[in-house]
Each structure stands twice: as C-alpha cells, then as structure tokens.
Structure 1
C-alpha cells in the first residue's frame, strides 16, 4: 500500500482499498470535503439510534468496546497509509466517542441529544484544557499514534458527559 501525499484528501478508491480505511474513514463520512469530524459525529449519532433498536444497553457497551479496539487498529493503519499522524478525514474516533456519550446519557429526547452532539463537537474542535492535553500526549504513527487519534475524543466525550451531568443536576 502506498502512502497518500499529506496534501491529498482520501478518495472513494482509497476508502475501499483496505478494510481499515473503510472503518477509520467512518464508512465514507470522513470523505466529506467540509467538516468531516462533524459529518462523522452525525453519522455516529444516526448509527447509534439505529443500533439501539436492536441491541440492549449491555450489547451496545460490548459493541463500543469492540469498536474501540478495532478503531485503534484501523486508525493506526489508515494514518500510516495516509502518511499523516492524525488526519481530519479519520472520523472513527468521533463515531465511537458520540456512541459513548449517547450510551451513557440516554434516555434523552431529540433536544438533549442535539445538546450532547453540540457539546461534544465543541470539546472536540476547540480542544479546551484537558482535551488539548490529551491531543498532545500521543502523537506519531503505530500503536501510539492510533491510540492518540482516539484518546482526545474520549476525553472530549468525558467532558461532554460531565457537562450533561452538571446540567441534569442543576436543572433536574
């Protein structure tokens, strides 16, 4: 597998060239030319709503664990093939992180889910405090880089859950 030039965006052919690419690029949502992280998060939200129709909360939790392990591998391989340590088109980290947020915060109506989505996107994009720390902690290629791609989004998910818990406590 040849690496892509860092300046090139992944193509549908790159997406289909390796199973890791398909997973890491969020089954195509990471190919969005504008805001791939937001598109990937939206895809993750929709996928979660569909998955919860068929899976129990325990089943969802086990799927999330599997998705984290599989994502670590897929993000590591795809970043290496792209030649970029943390490319914006890799969105599996956003997908799994929004699954964690929704899994732990549900049940919520549409407006609560939208608030969770918006909070997560804020923490992931703006990278305040602990999210910026997590983003700097693991860089590079291989297992460390793949974990780093996921880790800052896990911290963003934790921050989102913390704000949602405080919101529920103060308003509930």
Structure 2
C-alpha cells in the first residue's frame, strides 16, 4: 500500500487539480457549485480516510461520516460553502468536511 506521506501527497495533488477541474466544469455548466461535479467529494472522502484503520467496514464508516459533515455543513464548512467561490470554494468546503470526518473517524477508532 501507499505510505501515509504518499497518500497525503496524492490527495494534495488531487486537491490542486480539482481547483482547476471544478472551475472549468462550473464555467462549462454555468453553475456556481454544480451537483454534477463529484471530484470535490472524492477528495473530501480521501481526506477522511487518511490514516484510517485497514478494514472494509472503516470505508463505510468514513463515507457515512463524510456525508454527514458534507450535508450538515458545520462551521467553517458552511462559511467556505457560502463565501468562497470558483474552483477553490467548490473544493475547500468538502476538504474541511473531510477533516471533520477524519477527526471523528480517528476518535471512533481510538475509542474501540
């Protein structure tokens, strides 16, 4: 498998590419944050799963946690969603939701 450093480097690369990709897609679709774009969710989920325990069910737990934070949009996810625009804004709210989900996942893992 990938080392944690390689995983994080690839995730950061995906974030940077995603800024450009999401901006281009939003321009083409003529929408601010089109639901047709899922690259931001993919990167947010990858953030969630950084250093996750290796078992198939952790993937499901991580996905559910990410979706909860992505949908609920607690502060500062909501701030990024409302105040930041373009590719960076599209990407950042999902990355912040991913960080929340990562913390929750790690707390669950260490409490078991």
- Give the shorter-chain TM-score range: 0.7 to 0.9
| Cα distance change, pair 56–166 in 1 and its aligned pair in 2 (3 A) | closer
For structure 1, list consecutive stretches of 5 or more residues without a partner in the other structure: 1-51, 140-144
Residue 35 of structure 2: SS of its match in structure 1? Answer: coil
Matched positions, count? 112
Paired position in structure 1 for 2:83? 137
Q: Summarize the alignment of residues 82-121 of structure 1 with structure 2, pairs less than 5 Å apart.
A: 82-102=29-49, 104-121=50-67
**For 1:63-98, what per-residue CA distance to the aligned partner results, in whole angstroms no more than 9, with x for missing partners?**
212111111111111101111010001111011111
Instruction: State how far apart, in whole Å, the 2-side matches of 1:58 and 1:161 are.
Output: 16
TM-score relative to the length of structure 1: 0.59
* Contact kept? 2:66, 2:98, Cα under 8 Å: yes
**For 1:100-129, what per-residue CA distance to the aligned partner results, in whole angstroms no more than 9, with x for missing partners?**
221x23233122221110010111122233
Taking only aligned residues, the RMSD between alpha carbons, in angstroms, comes to 1.7
Instruction: State how far apart, in whole Å, the 2-side matches of 1:165 and 1:56 are.
Output: 18
* Contact kept? 2:53, 2:109, Cα under 8 Å: no
**For 1:141-167, what per-residue CA distance to the aligned partner results, in whole angstroms no more than 9, with x for missing partners?**
xxxx11000011011001101212222
> 2:100 matched to 1:163?
no
Greater CA radius of gyration, 1 or 2? 1
For structure 2, list consecutive stretches of 5 or more residues without a partner in the other structure: none
TM-score relative to the length of structure 2: 0.87
**For 1:29-74, what per-residue CA distance to the aligned partner results, in whole angstroms no more than 9, with x for missing partners?**
xxxxxxxxxxxxxxxxxxxxxxx4xx44333222212111111111
